[in-house]
Amino acid sequence: MKKLLTIIMIALLIGGAVFLLVFKGGNKFDGTKETPDFEIKDNGLLLNTDKSRYNPKEEVYFQIASLDKDGDSNCEADLELQISGPEDNDIKLTTEDGTISKTPNCGTSGSSNDPDYTAFIEPVEEGIYDLKLTDLKTNEFVGSFFIVGNSEAELSVTRWGPSKAINDGKTRNPMKFILASANDFEGQLIEAVPVDVEIVWQGAASVSTSANQAGKTLTWDISLKAGEEKDLSYEYLVKPGSSGIMTLGKAKLISGRDEVIYEEEKPWIIVVTDN
């Protein structure tokens, strides 16, 4: 039997040094998983998934970056992604065998929705999948997780956006949501962004500043019919002088009765650079 607690980490870059958020999770999920604890450690990798929760056989999109000590892209990384699923359903992906692919935009300056490296799988078994991404040249590693087949899978939130953003105050960075529901849904999508972000286009969303001035909130009114998908997006600038990492989200879907129906399990992480 797999141990109930595993260490789950997300890489962060702060002031030129890369750190890890270390989460406690597990391989079984009953719909009541609590927000993980975390601590900060040194590291040099970044791992995002396009969703927190998936249906069985749904494609999981991994967005990967490997950073050098200066925070620049390392496009010659030797990467291995170990995926530990329920019932010992384990998968290994690597750059060596091509199951982790370097994108044409790796190392280019500017904002791009294409990460440095990508990988895809279609998990079948329900449960929590622990992730461990390792740079085999440096032995540095980082982890994350995703969930397959839980009680809230009838609502779906997918993200498409950059994993890196330039702090020049003029480069526009897009963030796109794809919402889907198996049943009719009326409510709101709420997205939190940090204070160093300036929203330059929000579409139909309203934008408000948090009470403690710590960031902003975007709110969209949502009406979904059963089986319908809806795209929502916004664009933002990163203010000059900003550095380190930003977290966007966690996005929430709230019903007309102000009840949180769906919330992402983890935020979207972006490394802020000056090139």
Give the domain CATH number at 82. Answer: 2.60.40.1930
Question: Does residue 60 sit within a domain?
Answer: yes
Question: Does residue 137 sit within a domain?
Answer: yes
Band (244; pLDDT cuts 50, 70, 90): confident
140 lies in the same domain as 162: no
pLDDT tens by residue, 106-128: 887 656 677 899 999 999 999 99
Domains: count for the chain: 2
Provide the b/e sequence for 90-123 (b: ≥16 CB within 10 Å).
eeebbbeeebbebbeebeeeebbeebbbebebeb
210 lies in the same domain as 125: no
Question: Does residue 1 sit within a domain?
Answer: no
162 lies in the same domain as 134: no
Question: Does residue 123 sit within a domain?
Answer: yes
108 lies in the same domain as 203: no
143 lies in the same domain as 210: no
118 lies in the same domain as 203: no
Cα 101 to Cα 63, 132, 172, distances in angstroms: 10, 17, 26
Question: Does residue 262 sit within a domain?
Answer: yes
Question: Does residue 243 sit within a domain?
Answer: yes
Nearest to 50 by CA among 111, 153, 119: 119
Mean confidence (pLDDT) of the chain:
81
Domain final residue, candidates 84, 118, 148: 148
138 lies in the same domain as 18: yes
Res 109: pLDDT: 63
Residue 246 belongs to what domain range? 155-273
120 lies in the same domain as 215: no
Nearest to 38 by CA among 64, 65, 11, 73: 11
Domain final residue, candidates 148, 179, 213: 148
Question: Does residue 267 sit within a domain?
Answer: yes
pLDDT average, residue stretch 246-269: 90
17 lies in the same domain as 143: yes
The enclosing domain of 199 has a CATH number of 2.60.40.2230
165 lies in the same domain as 143: no
Domain final residue, candidates 107, 126, 148: 148
Res 121: pLDDT: 97
140 lies in the same domain as 239: no
pLDDT tens by residue, 147-190: 998 555 488 999 999 888 888 999 999 999 999 998 999 999 99
162 lies in the same domain as 104: no
**Which stretch of 42-46, 78-82, 98-102, 243-247 has the lowest confidence by average pLDDT?**
42-46
